[in-house]
A = this chain, B = another copy of it.
Amino acid sequence: MPQTPVLKSEQIAVYLSGYTDGEGSFCISFSPRDRLKAKIEIRPSFSVSQNSDRAEVLLLFKEYFSCGSIRPDRSDKTVKYEVRSLQDLVTKIIPHFRRFPLLSGKQKDFEKFATICEFLFTRNINFEQIFDLAFQMNISGKRRFNKEYLLSLL
């Protein structure tokens, strides 16, 4: 068996973008929160899933980005690498995918995700604008609340 070549750090960066294009997800979720002044909590997250029998690449993500956590996904037999910290998303995750972009249509989801994270980070929060962007993302995924319901909470 030939010896595995060692990838250079830029190659690892590109590899992780390729992997993310296959298995990664940029997600904005909304939760009604009576106790919050804004009534809605906005939670952005970046995640990558993998069957639990080969989670090596998730460890590489955690090491490369120096943030996030790895945990079993409750819904199935997968393990998930996830970054939820807005600071980490804005300072580590987003710059990476601008430098080493996804080559599929998922990059468009990423750009909407990045815009929302930057709005949140700079506290430039216009809920309607954020809903509009978020509801154009991951069209094939399911959403617990529709836009009209969320708007009615404000």
Binding site for B on A (CB under 8 A): 1-2, 4-5, 7, 10-11, 14-24, 50-51, 53-54, 56-57, 60, 98-101, 103-107, 111, 139-140
Once the chains are docked, how many angstroms separate the CA of A18 from the CA of B53? Answer: 17
CA distance A57 to B20 in the complex (A): 12
Per DSSP, are chain A's interface residues mostly helix, strand or loop, or mixed? helix
**B5, B19, B50, B140: the one within 8 Å of A18 (CB):** B19
Tallying the copies of this chain within the complex gives 2
Contact (Cβ within 8 A) B23 A101:
no
Interface centre among A104, A111, A139 (most CB of B within 10 A): A104
The residues of B that contact A22 with a CB separation of less than 8 Å are 18-24, 50, 57
In the complex, what residues of B have CB within 8 A of residue A51's CB? 140
Contacts of A140 in B (CB 8 A): 51, 53
Among the listed B56, B100, B103, which residue makes an inter-chain contact with A60, where contact means beta carbons less than 8 Å apart?
Answer: B103
Cα distance A7–B14 when bound, in Å? 9
Residues of B within 8 A of A11 (CB): 10-11, 14
3 smallest CB-CB distances across A and B, nearest first, come from: A18-B18, A22-B22, A22-B23
Q: Is the CB of B54 within 8 A of A4?
A: no
